[in-house]
Amino acid sequence: MGKVPVYFHKVKVLLGPELFETVAGFSWGLTVGGILGRRGFFESFNVTFDSSADPPTIELIRTYRV
């Protein structure tokens, strides 16, 4: 695929009662959607994916780092 331009923006994400700000990367050059980075999200939540459920589920538990 090679290199594609990625544009980073601050975004606010609302997950249930939790609102937080992070930086997200967007690109028209990707052929599929994906997670470009994990900072600001996976360090703030414990995430459990259950693809065996129908429909698949995601459990998020907020973590607070000091």
> What confidence score (pLDDT) does residue 54 get?
93
Q: How far apart are the first and last CA of the chain?
A: 40
| pTM (two decimals) | 0.58
Task: List, for residues 14-66, the tens digit of each pLDDT value.
Answer: 877 878 888 888 888 877 766 656 677 778 888 888 999 899 898 888 888 76
Is residue 46 within 8 Å of residue 40, measured between CB atoms? no
Is residue 58 within 8 Å of residue 49, measured between CB atoms? yes
> What confidence score (pLDDT) does residue 36 get?
54
- The count of other CB atoms within 10 Å of the CB of residue 63 is 10
> What confidence score (pLDDT) does residue 34 get?
67
> What confidence score (pLDDT) does residue 55 get?
92
